[in-house]
Chain A
């Protein structure tokens, strides 16, 4: 089993992801510079958070033209796992690997704090080890996390069970108050129809050790590891 963490100019959560995979998941992991196009030998890619290309034009817009991205698309088309976190989620939407877009937070501010998210679908490679309805405490750190999509896209997401995480209260209730950024229907993370591509705004790689206030993110990485083993 081998993980890859894709590094763009301006990625800044790449080392966090690498740390979690190597120390807490205990699996081999490489950094993959964005000019690399050979992804053979990898089972899962993490597209990490940060500010690729300085968020020029739109968050994630320019990263999709990096040489590695065509290989990432092929990788995903083969059914392998692509996990976009924060800026990684924005990049996957811009690249068309996930539907919709992420726009400026409704309240305009950059928000950096722990939020609660509820696991909406256990039947994905990223949540199989977590009970449905579980409330996870995971930090967000973004200014453009406000998920938008048109009605047909939203209906398809709901019907296919592609909404994986929603912002919620401590007890799991989905409320407007628990929504930090105005995202449609409190959406914090979605997956592709085949479930092998996941994008989420919260940072599970920052919540994998008690010392950092929560280890609720571990279940996501453990689920992914189990899915790779099952493949």
Chain B
């Protein structure tokens, strides 16, 4: 079973990389993009025998303890299938 983990900067935390991407988009002529925030996306393969609940629990714990820094980032877990 696959879990998708999205890690994003908390609102209010400066995202210079997102800003630079937004600036490039403007230079490319995009007139309608108001803002860009950059985050991280992880695909976590959980062992076959795991139930959906176990898979979610494992992915949540990995996200909380490793993938995201709770000081600056939020995370969201989605199960696939």
Chain A residues near B (Cβ < 8 Å): 57-58, 61, 65, 93-94, 99-101, 103-108, 146, 148-150, 182
Name the A residues within 8 Å of B72 (CB-CB). Answer: 101, 103, 148
Complexed CA–CA distance, A148 and B14 (Å): 9
A108 and B69 form a contact (CB under 8 A): no
Q: Is B66 part of the contact surface with A, judged by Cβ < 8 Å?
A: yes
- Of chain A, the residue at the smallest CB distance from B68 is A58
Q: Which of B50-68 contact A (CB under 8 A)?
A: 66-67
Name the B residues within 8 Å of A93 (CB-CB). Answer: 71
- Of chain B, the residue at the smallest CB distance from A153 is B71
A100 and B16 form a contact (CB under 8 A): no
B17 and A182 form a contact (CB under 8 A): no
Complexed CA–CA distance, A177 and B71 (Å): 26
Selected from A94, A101, A104, A148, the residue in CB contact (under 8 A) with B17 is A104
Complexed CA–CA distance, A58 and B72 (Å): 11
- Nearest-CB distance from B9 to chain A (Å)? 8
B69 and A146 form a contact (CB under 8 A): no
Chain B residues near A (Cβ < 8 Å): 13-17, 20, 66-67, 69, 71-72
B14 and A108 form a contact (CB under 8 A): no
- Nearest-CB distance from A67 to chain B (Å)? 16
A61 and B13 form a contact (CB under 8 A): no
Given known pairs A101-B72, A103-B72, A148-B72, the reply for A57 and B67 (CB within 8 Å) is yes
Name the A residues within 8 Å of B20 (CB-CB). Answer: 108
Closest 4 CB pairs of A and B: A101-B71, A101-B72, A108-B16, A104-B16
A148 and B16 form a contact (CB under 8 A): no
- Nearest-CB distance from A97 to chain B (Å)? 13
- Of chain B, the residue at the smallest CB distance from A184 is B14
